Structure 1
Amino acid sequence: MGTIVLARIDDRLIHGQVMTSWLNYTGANRIIIVDDETANDTFLKMIVTSVAPANINTEVFDMAGGVTALKNLADNDKVIVLVKSPAVYVELMKQGVILEKVNIGGMGAKEGRSKFYKNISASEAEKACLAELVNNGVAVSIQIIAEDKAIDVAKLLS
């Protein structure tokens, strides 16, 4: 069975930091994006998948498709999973996708969110989702790039 080498929350999904730092660090050979909005927008989907390196299989799924893809990884898959919200990981977990760690890379300021840690913002609902992940044994940390020290989110929630 394949492995999820990085499960990341990032508003921007794919961008320079993900491509360089995390692909090198994890040795990933596949990126799975689970985001209903992106999956249902042909133009957005094309943009997001075109940003990934050509040698990395990059796919965009809605929730149902993401669950299926993540439960049926090939043996040699080393997958980076990208989502925009912690609620997606809560739902994936409820659907039987096993998550050991979740990384927060980018949750920017926007309406309904307040400062959570440095340049990371979260709404009360997002904090509740992060707490649910932690309470279900998922190690949640903030780590922008692989070289950064990971910040344990469980300590920030208490």
Structure 2
Amino acid sequence: MIRHVRIDNRLVHGQVVVTWLQAERANTIMVANDGIAADEFQKTMLLAVKPPSVHEVILSVDEALAYLKDPAHANEQVFMLVKEPSDALRLHRGGLGVKTMNVGNMAFAAGSKRVTRTVFVTARDVAAFKDLHDEGVELTARMMPTDRRNDFMQLLAEAKVL
């Protein structure tokens, strides 16, 4: 069962390990990103920061969808991390079946525009967010589980990037 989907280009880090896993009662961290799944060094680094009591899998987007459909993993409480909105859109279109996704951190990149203190988006990101929203996924923005849920599409509109 998917407990939470978070778009955060930092992926597994202290904030996720210390606060989000506990708040969402997750016992599995899943990173779904084709590039990370193919990079042994990055996988090793991400696996090094997880708590020993938590299972972690790092998979391509297609592998993540297959993993979640496998009955052998039906009892796992999954906290899913994706690096970018295009990953989230592919998961959604692949049948992920979640109603809400959280936008955490998206670092500045060339050509990106600031939406919040910690979120910068490119035109490609905005297109993916718009598609997710148009296809019925609620997008929220909050850094910590105790923070108020902000409507991410409203934040995009206020930042004049829609």
Same-fold call, TM cutoff 0.5: yes
Kindly indicate whether residue 21 of structure 2 is the aligned counterpart of residue 23 of structure 1. yes
1:69-88 aligned at under 5 Å gives the runs 69-72=67-70, 74-88=73-87
1:1-158 aligned at under 5 Å gives the runs 3-72=1-70, 74-158=73-157
Following the alignment from structure 2 to structure 1, what is the Cα–Cα distance between the partners of residues 118 and 28? 28
Amino acid aligned to 2:68: L
For the aligned residue pairs, the C-alpha RMSD in angstroms reads: 1.3
Name stretches of at least 5 consecutive residues in structure 2 with no aligned partner: 158-162
What fraction of aligned residue pairs are identical, expressed as a percent?
28
C-alpha deviation, 1:77, in angstroms? 1.2
Amino acid aligned to 1:50: A
C-alpha deviation, 1:97, in angstroms? 1.5
TM-score normalised by the chain length of structure 1: 0.93
C-alpha deviation, 1:154, in angstroms? 2.4
> Counterpart in 1 of 2:160?
none
Task: Answer 1 or 2: which has greater strand percent.
Answer: 1
Deviating beyond 2 angstroms after TM superposition, the runs of 4 or more aligned structure 1 residues are 70-75
Amino acid aligned to 1:10: D
SS in 2 for 1:106: coil
Deviations 1:74-114 (A, max 9, x none): 33211011011011111111111112111111101111211
Contact 2:34 2:59 (C-alpha < 8 Å) held by counterparts: yes
TM-score normalised by the chain length of structure 2: 0.91
Name stretches of at least 5 consecutive residues in structure 1 with no aligned partner: none
Following the alignment from structure 1 to structure 2, what is the Cα–Cα distance between the partners of residues 133 and 96? 12
C-alpha deviation, 1:119, in angstroms? 2.4
Following the alignment from structure 2 to structure 1, what is the Cα–Cα distance between the partners of residues 31 and 62? 12
